[in-house]
Structure formats: structure tokens, C-alpha cells
Chain A
Amino acid sequence: MIEVKGLEYAYPGAARKTLHGLDFHIGRGEIFGFLGPSGSGKSTTQKILIGVLKGYAGSVQVLGQELRRISPDYYERIGVGFEFPNFYAKFTVMENLNLFRSLYSVPTEDPGRLLERVGLGDAVNFKVSQLSKGMKMRLNFCRAILHRPQVLFLDEPTSGLDPVNARLMKDLILEMKAQGTTVLITTHHMQAAEELCDRVAFIVDGQIKLIDSPRQLMLRQGSKTVRVEYRKGEELAAEEFALDGIGGNAAFLQLINRYPVETMHSQEATLEQIFMDTTGRSLT
């Protein structure tokens, strides 16, 4: 679906390259996350994949087309949701969607039905200037999937959303995946990536430092132990036990039988920790 080999890119007039030979493959129906701090090159990579930047070196194929040679038809097959959900502020929600809908020649979704699905059914006739950031983000998502794209590019899709709407957005993205849509998410929100992505790539200084499923990364880079917090009289105490053979670990069994346990967590790494360990940088 997306095949990238030796991708390099330098902005015109820039002394050094922004991307230094990226290689990755994204399959049909996969949700792939590009994670990295600001300025790492993830937005540049996305701009190349959506055909906005063309002067790259290497090979970038999406839906079987080399992106240097795409025609406007390419945009009938991909959907893009930028981080900042901009619309014609004086127009209503429906007028905005209808405008963008009319730019496609492929069959499109019924905007009213889409709006219902993202919880904007009552806002159809609201002017966009009246919407909150969260509502605009949901409208932005509707615009990106209006034409039933085969590949969907989303930049910070949960940014500005409250937990309920962030959940709704994640469910919609998972629904798109279930329908066979390939989704590429660019984000620095680790939790969203962990919940949504089949695989993630950490990009730093224009290079991919790690690429794998969040689960594999977290297990591989974490410690195979369980940490138990328990109440010992007035004191809150904690102990760690190896996961291997924990069912027969006498000390562990004695502790959970003897003291009231307050929390018990396996110690796999978090994506954020993996990122910091790998790159020596924080996700800001």
C-alpha cells in the first residue's frame, strides 16, 4: 500500500537534509504511527506521502504510484486531516462539507450521516465560527473521509479533544481500519499511538530509530517483573517480582496472602520511555 525506500529530502535552500534515507512499508488496513518530536521530519515525511513535496530522492510508492508522477486522481483515493482544522468560518458545517464534497468525482458519503456519526448531527447548520476546537476536529475528520479514501493521513487526530470525543475519534479510526483503509497517523501523543497503531516508527533527526508494534516494543524494552504496592500497617510498601515462575514464587504468594495489595503492575516500558531511551530526547 505504501512502500518507501531510501527516502531523502532537503528543503530548497537548506544546507542540510531533513530526511536521511527512510525505509518502511505499510500494508493494507494497517494503522501506522509516525512518532517524534517537533522538527524530527515526521511532517516532512507526511507532506511527501500526500504529494505536496515532490523533490525527494529515493522511491515513494503509494497505491502503486510513484509520488513524483501522480495526477490529481491520486487525491480521489487518499484523505488528509491536517492538525489545524480550517474551514470557511462564515459558512455552515454543511456548506463546508458540500464544498469539499463537490471537488471529488468518486462516490462520496452522505455528509449528514457522517456528521451524525461524529456527534455533530445537531450542528449541521451552525456556522464553523461557532464550533469549539473539538467540534472542528471532528468536522475535519468528516472532510478527510468524505470520499471513502483507501489511505487516510491524519495529523494529531486527537489533539484538542476531550476524553469522550478522543475515544469517539479512536473508534472511528479503528472502524476505518476494519473497512480496509490504511491509516497513517502523525503524532507525539504516545497514548493515542499505543491504543491505535499496529506499528509505530520513531523518527528523530530525519531517521527512523525504531519500528515495530507498540506491544512488542513495550515488552522487549521493559522489565519482565511485576511491581506490587501493599499496605504494611500505616506504611505503603512496594516490591518487585520476576514474572517468570511467578505462580510458584513463595515470597510473592506470601505477600499477596498476608498484606492488603493496593496496586499490581507488570513493568513493561511505556512508549514515551522507549522514545526517550532510544533518542535521548523528550517528546515536546
Chain B
Amino acid sequence: MMNARALLRNDIRQMLKDPMLLASVIGPLAVFVFVRYLFRPLSVWVEERYAFDMMSHAEFAAMLLLTVIPLLAGVMTGLLMLDERDENLIAYFAVTPLTRKGYYRYRLLLPSGLACLMSAVYLLFGGIVDVRVEMLYPLLLTSAEAPCIALFLAAFAANKVEGLALSKLCGLLFVGPVLVFFVPGPWQAVGIILPTYWPSESYLQAASGESGLAAVTFGIGAAYHMLLLYIADRAFAKRMD
């Protein structure tokens, strides 16, 4: 716990010195502010001007924007890990009471916890969709996405520049909610390899009153996220060795 506090202080200091990292924290706040204060006035304006009802797509917007939060938290952590890996600092942490295991634990729980907290605030207080207990499904699943993204960057990028390039590839994750909300039945199967497919699908099923099916989808999604986490963890461990 003491070590986690020390590392957290260190991360905050790093964020304050690096505008890109700072943007990763400000980004989710901007998403929340947009949803809470700008989405409704914007939809009124769009409806008046273009006769398009944005509010009828509020659930899609909520899920799409929810994808942004773990993406930013994961990218931020991934870039921090890349820096620490390239500077060989992980080797130094490994020979302190923190240990390598403690370092990993902190680095994976940080984005997960951040994503969970910020997503919860976003869903509970965003105000564009009704609060229901099934919101826990997308909340938990997207929280598991953040450490996957962090490990993916840290394992596959050779350096920070490559890390930034790979983080752009993570933009593909936005396709998940699009498939769920706009692509008809069988074609949605294409999306099952995207982790973001599962939170949107479970949420949509719950919103349609199919609670049992939503729970099953959540279960499959959770198992898939765990598998991705395991693969990314192995890849990172191999890279470190």
C-alpha cells in the first residue's frame, strides 16, 4: 500500500510533466463534461437544424463514449510502462521491496481502477441514459480493457513512438459499439473478436429487457477479456525476459 502511494505520487508527477499523459486524464473528464452538459443542448440544436433526433441514439453514444475512458487510461499506463521498460527501471523496481510482481500489480490495477471509477461517474452522473443495475456489465468489462491495452502497448511497441502508433490502432475498438447498434444480426459475429463488442452487447440486451441473455453475454465477455489479459501478460513477460 505504501509502495502504491509512492508510485502513484510518481505517476502524478510524470503526468504533470508530460502534456500527452495529462491529456489521458483530462480526456475522460472532457467526455463526462460533454455528456453531462453538452449532449442534450447539442441534440436539441441538431434536431432543430437537421431534423435528426440524437437522443434516440443516446445509448449508442453512451457506449461509444464509454469506450474512450479505458482506452485513454490504458494508453496512458502503456506509455508509462514503455518508458519504464526502455529505461530499465522495472529491473530496479524488481530488486526493491516493491518487487517485479508488485510493480505489475500496481501497473495493471491503476488503469483498471481509474477506468472503473471514471466510467462509474460517467454512467451514473452523465444523465443521458437511465441508470440500471446491468450497467455493471459494461462497467466491469471496460475496466478490464484498460490493463489489456496497457500490456498490449508495453509488449508490442519497441519504443514510445511505436507505442503512440499502436495506440492509434486501438481506435479500432470504437467499431465494437458501432457493430452492436447498427449492424444487423448475423453480421455482428464479426465483432466478437473486438473486446468492446461485449460490453455494448450486454448493455443493449439488458436495455431490451433480456436480463438472462445479458448476464450470459457478460460472462462470455469477461472470459474473453481474461484470455486477452493473459495473452498480453505473457507477451509482456516474454518481452521483459
Contacts and interface: CB of A to CB of B under 8 A. Distances in A.
Interface stretch (B50-58, B91-99, B175-183, B211-219): B91-99
Nearest to B5: A102
Interface string A67-103: 0000011011010101010111111000100011011
A99 B10 contact: yes
Given A82-B88, A82-B92, A87-B87, A99 B14 contact: no
Chain B interface size, under 10 / 10 to 19 / 20 to 34 / 35 or more: 20 to 34
Nearest to A51: B95
A89 B10 CA distance: 13
A104 B88 contact: no
Contacts of B91: 52, 82, 86
A88 B6 contact: no
Nearest to B99: A72
Given A72-B97, A73-B97, A100-B96, A88 B88 contact: no
Nearest to B101: A72
**Contact-size category for A:** 20 to 34
Nearest to B89: A86
Contact of B13 (A87, A95, A105): A95
A104 B96 contact: yes
Main secondary structure of the interface of A (DSSP, over half): loop
Contacts of B10: 88, 99
Interface string B110-134: 0000000000000000000000000
B132 to A, nearest CB: 43
Nearest to A103: B96
Contacts of A78: 95
A72 B88 contact: no
A88 B5 CA distance: 17
Given A87-B87, A90-B17, A102-B2, A52 B95 contact: yes
A137 interface: no
Interface string A108-125: 000000000000000000
Please classify the interface of chain B as helix (H, G, I), strand (E, B), loop, or mixed, using the class held by over half of its residues. Answer: helix
A33 to B, nearest CB: 20
Contacts of B6: 99, 102-103
B159 interface: no
Contacts of A73: 97
A75 B14 contact: no
Contacts of A75: 95-97, 99
A78 B14 CA distance: 28
A78 B92 CA distance: 12
B97 A80 contact: no
B2 A105 contact: yes
Interface in B1-34: 2-3, 5-6, 9-10, 13-14, 17-18
Nearest to A13: B241
Nearest to B94: A52
Contacts of B191: none
A184 interface: no
Interface string B129-168: 0000000000000000000000000000000000000000
A87 B102 CA distance: 19
Given A80-B92, A90-B18, 7 more contacts: A50-B95, A76-B97, A86-B88, A87-B89, A88-B87, A89-B87, A104-B97
22 contacts: A50-B95, A52-B95, A72-B98, A72-B99, A75-B95, A75-B96, A75-B99, A82-B88, A84-B88, A88-B87, A88-B89, A90-B17, A90-B18, A91-B13, A100-B96, A102-B2, A102-B3, A102-B5, A102-B6, A102-B9, A103-B93, A103-B96
